[in-house]
Amino acid sequence: MSLIEDTVIVTGGAGFIGSAVIRELIATTDMKVVNIDCLTYAGNLQTVADVSSNERYAFHQVDIRDREAIDRLLAEQRPRYLMHLAAESHVDRSIDGPAEFISTNILGTYTLLEAFRAYADRLGDARGEIRFHHVSTDEVFGSLGADGLFTESSPYQPNSPYSASKAASDHLVRAWGETYDLPVVVSNCSNNYGPYQYPEKLIPVVISSAVAGKPIPVYGRGENVRDWLYVGDHANALVAIVMRGAVGRTYNVGGNAERTNLQVVNAICEILDEIAPRPDGEGYADQVTFVTDRPGHDFRYAIDASRIAAELDWRPRESFRSGMEKTVRWYLENRDWIEAVRAGAYDGRRLGLGGRA
């Protein structure tokens, strides 16, 4: 029996980015893909419905903090790669209730690392053939001013409970790589958008509010800047990193698409004006409403993705316009998915005020 199988375990595979990674792996590789997800409010197996009948796909409902279950899966599946995407990820929710972010993002990552270390130790000389890929965010670097870009050597300065928990998990992965010679890679990405994003995030909120004729909420004056990355491009980058990235290396993944939040909202409104115009003939931008800003709202994030371009020959395939049009069309065509989510754990209310009006 082989010590290692051509298998990828994806944690958080029923989430937004994790499901995109699973679809990418099934479409572009011959590997078996094992999705482990505990199906919190943001986990939805409909995100992987297109591949669920594929013979190379399997799902296990497992909490990454359950060491016994993780040990058992590693022993059974003998994966070549573990791609760790499971996380509590919404900044606003972390402001309202940080405890779950500390537990899942830090303790969960620690549990996975320890289980993977025990698995690697059993492999002997073959341990060099496996990889633990930790998927993180550019928010760990804090906030940029008007100039400059985050690089892989940027200092960490997280400003929210969410980003602090991800920063801690990044450090754990690096430390386990150095201390225990664990074959790890880390990636930090810019803001993702695309199909199946949970409706509490900016772009789904804008689309849903616009077509429902409701006010489109924009935090502060909409001047905060993000680099926007289409989720399909991100998934493609993550597969390249886990399979071809250098052990111990960190890779920044960005979309080369800096926009202020207001520019993003206006772009969505323009697309909606073209493909789903309002019955009254007015523009959707008339619905924009400025609301109380998020506490500690970082001003600007921007990614220098030159390392992954040079070392792995990866670049985003979608422009901001093409990716956003695909996204808007998907949400218009899948309103039943949004309504099903809204009927469950998310009722559309404003989050992240931290108890402040």
User: So which residues are the catalytic ones?
Assistant: 138-139, 162
Residues across the chain: 357
Answer positive or negative: Cα dihedral of 48, 89, 315, 35: negative
C-alpha span between 279 and 260 (Å, rounded): 28
Distances (CA, A) of 25 to 81, 127, 230, 308, 352: 12, 22, 17, 19, 34
Q: Is 181 left (phi over 0), alpha (psi -120 to 50) or beta?
A: left
C-alpha span between 120 and 117 (Å, rounded): 5
C-alpha span between 229 and 90 (Å, rounded): 17
Nearest alpha-carbon partner for 295 in 163, 93, 160 = 160
Residue 220 DSSP SS3: coil
Nearest alpha-carbon partner for 203 in 121, 81, 325 = 325
Q: Is 24 left (phi over 0), alpha (psi -120 to 50) or beta?
A: alpha
Q: Angle CA(78)–CA(76)–CA(241) in degrees, nearest 5?
A: 30
Question: 292: how many CB neighbours lie within 10 A of its CB?
Answer: 13
> Is the distance from CB of 289 to CB of 215 less than 8 angstroms?
yes
21: DSSP letter:
H
C-alpha span between 202 and 206 (Å, rounded): 6
Beta bridge partners of 228: 191
- Both structure tokens of 67: 């060491």
Question: Looking up tokens 């992987």, which residue turns up?
Answer: 48
Q: How do strand 7-11 and strand 32-36 relate by DSSP bridges?
A: parallel
